[in-house]
């Protein structure tokens, strides 16, 4: 599933950083603050679930995810409407997702809402 590979990539990118700070055992990371594109995931819940499963047995086990969701957006040329696109609104598997305009139904290309970026790690004292 998409969420799992995303969680794997995230965990792999964070573990070396933890190791360099001497964090090698579970229980010391309280929170992982993350900037995440809305179009990368189906829902925050399923991503948090994937992260919890994949981080089990690593120093990230038990850490709470704090997500800052970066929304995507569409602009309809026909009725000039702008709409924010969140998780669930567009297919995260598509590389060029399209969403119908809520006003007139014209298919609009979704812009933005991509990327995954660890922002901060909150460690126990
Ligand atoms: Zn429209």
Q: What is the pLDDT of residues 11-38, one digit of tens each?
A: 999 999 999 999 998 989 999 999 999 9
Tell me: pLDDT of 1 over 80: no
Looking at the predicted structure, is the pLDDT value of residue 87 above 80?
no
CA of 105 to the centre of ligand 1 (A): 6
In this prediction, residue 41 carries a pLDDT of 87
Report how far ligand 1's centroid is from the alpha carbon of 82 (Å). 9
Region 96-101 average pLDDT: 90
Name the residue with tokens 């567009």: 90
User: What integer best gives the mean pLDDT of the chain?
Assistant: 92
Q: pTM (2 decimals)?
A: 0.82
Q: Kindly report, residue by residue over 33-65, the tens digit of the pLDDT.
A: 999 999 888 888 999 999 999 999 999 999 999
Q: How far is the CA of 53 from the centre of ligand 1 (A)?
A: 41
Residues 13, 16, 18, 23: is their CA dihedral positive or negative? positive
Q: Thinking of the domain 2-123, which architecture would CATH place it in?
A: 2-Layer Sandwich (3.30)
pLDDT grade for 88, boundaries at 50, 70 and 90? confident
């Amino acid at each position: 599933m998409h969420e799992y590979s995303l969680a794997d990539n995230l965990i792999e990118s964070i573990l070396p950083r933890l190791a360099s700070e001497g964090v090698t055992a579970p229980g010391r990371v309280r929170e992982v603050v993350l900037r995440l594109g809305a179009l990368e995931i189906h829902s925050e819940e399923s991503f948090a679930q994937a992260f919890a499963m994949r981080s089990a047995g690593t120093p990230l086990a038990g850490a709470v995810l704090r997500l800052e969701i970066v929304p995507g957006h569409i602009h309809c040329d026909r009725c000039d409407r702008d709409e924010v696109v969140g998780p669930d609104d567009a297919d995260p598997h598509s590389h060029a997702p399209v969403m119908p305009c809520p006003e007139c139904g014209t298919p609009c290309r979704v812009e933005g809402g991509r990327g995954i970026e660890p922002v901060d790690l909150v460690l126990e004292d």
